[in-house]
Amino acid sequence: MLVVHTKEELAEQIAEWRHSGDHVALVPTMGNLHAGHVSLVELAREHAERVVVTIFVNPTQFGEGEDFDTYPRTLERDKRRLKSTPADLIFAPDVETVYPFGVEAATVVSVPGLTEEFCGAKRPGHFDGVTSVVARLFAIVQPDVAIFGQKDYQQQLVIRHMTADLSIPVQIITGETVRADDGLALSSRNSYLSDEEREIAPQLHGALEFIGRELQNGKRNYEDLESSAIVRLNAAGFAAEYVSIRRAENLEIPDRDCDELVVLAAARLGPARLIDNIVVTI
Ligand code: PAF
C-alpha cells in the first residue's frame, strides 16, 4: 500500500491505474481509523479495482472551541490498520496542499437548505467546511465512486446534493453504520468517553431503536416520540441536542403516511458529541 502526501505523487499513480483501465474509489476520512472505516474501504473495493483512502483533518469543518487541535492524528496506526484491507493508497496531504491559497482565502462550497438544521444548526459553518473539502478531494483524486458512512446521515445527503447540483461525475455510495456489540455506533470521538460514559453511551442507539419499534407499531405522534426520547436521554446523563423523525429521502417533516423515515439524534456525553441515526422502513 502506497502512502503519498502530494498531489503530484497521487496524480502519477492514478494516471497509471487509469491507463490500465482501473476504476478508482475514494474513501475520505479524518483518520483515527476504526472498524467502521475498514467496512467503507471493503465496500469501496466492491465498486472499483483501486481504493484511495484520504486522511486529512480538515480545519474548515471545525468551529470555534471545537476539537480541531486535539482531534487524534494517528497516521502510523492508520497505516497499519489499512494494511490488511483492500486499500491501495493513502493520500495524507497537509493543509497547504488542500487549501493552496490558505484557509482564509479558500473558495467555499455551500449547500443551502439541507444544512440549516440538526448538525448544521448546532455547528455553524460545519457543512460548508465538509462540502468545501469534499469538492476539493473530488477534484484532486477524480474518483469514479466515493463512499461515506450512514452514521453521518445528514452529511451524506448534503454531499449527494452537492454532487448532483454541480454535476460532479462521482457516484456516491453510503455504507452502513458499524456498531459495537452493545449498539454504540463506532466513531473516532468515542475515545473521548470515560469508562462510565462509555457504559451510558449505547443508550443513544437504544433511544433510536425504541422509536423505531414504536413507529413499526403504528405510532405516528412524532413530536411526542421525539420529546420523550430527549427526556430519557437527559435522565441517563446525556445533554441531548436533538432527536428528530424525518423523511429519509430529504430530511423534510414527514406526514403520517410517510413509509421511509430516518430517526436522527445528537447528544453530548461528557466531552464527546455523539450522533447516530436509524432508517425505519414501515
Ligand atoms: O466524515 C468525515 O470524516 C469528514 O466529514 C469527511 C467526509 C472526511 C470530510 O472531512
> Residues 212-256: pLDDT tens digits?
999 999 999 999 999 999 999 999 999 999 999 999 999 999 999
Which atom, in ligand 1's list, is nearest to the CA of 188? Answer: 3
Whole-angstrom CA distances from 137 to 113, 140, 236, 262 are: 23, 5, 40, 28
pLDDT tier for residue 173 given thresholds of 50, 70 and 90? very high
Pocket of ligand 1 (CB under 6 A): 28-30, 58, 61, 130, 133-134, 152, 155
What is the pLDDT at residue 88? 98
What is the pLDDT at residue 20? 98
Gap from CA of 130 to ligand 1 centroid (Å): 6
Provide mean pLDDT across the span 117-145: 98
pLDDT in tens, 246-267: 999 999 999 999 999 999 999 9
Gap from CA of 28 to ligand 1 centroid (Å): 6
pLDDT tier for residue 14 given thresholds of 50, 70 and 90? very high
Active site members: 37
- Dihedral of alpha carbons 276, 204, 122, 246, sign: positive
CATH 3.40.50.620 residue ranges for the chain: 2-175
What is the pLDDT at residue 16? 98
Owner of C-alpha cell 483512502: 53
pLDDT in tens, 32-64: 999 999 999 999 999 999 999 999 999 999 999
Name the closest-CA residue to atom 3, ligand 1: 29
Superfamily of domain 2-175: HUPs (3.40.50.620)
Query: What is the pTM assigned to this prediction?
Result: 0.98
Gap from CA of 20 to ligand 1 centroid (Å): 29
What is the pLDDT at residue 225? 98
Name the closest-CA residue to atom 7, ligand 1: 28
Cβ atoms of 135 and 109 within 8 Å: the answer is: yes
First to last CA, the chain: 43
Q: What is the mean pLDDT of the chain?
A: 98
CATH 3.30.1300.10 residue ranges for the chain: 188-281
Name the closest-CA residue to atom 9, ligand 1: 130
pLDDT tier for residue 211 given thresholds of 50, 70 and 90? very high
Provide mean pLDDT across the span 7-21: 98
Cβ atoms of 109 and 130 within 8 Å: the answer is: no
Q: Which fold has domain 188-281?
A: Pantoate--beta-alanine Ligase; Chain: A,domain 2 (3.30.1300)
pLDDT tier for residue 98 given thresholds of 50, 70 and 90? very high
Q: Give the bridge partners for 279, in sequence order.
A: 262
Which atom, in ligand 1's list, is nearest to the CA of 57? Answer: 10
Quote the percentage of the chain above a pLDDT of 70. Answer: 100
What is the pLDDT at residue 208? 98
- The phi, psi pair for 147, rounded to 5°, reads -115, 130
Gap from CA of 245 to ligand 1 centroid (Å): 24
pLDDT tier for residue 179 given thresholds of 50, 70 and 90? very high
Name the closest-CA residue to atom 5, ligand 1: 130
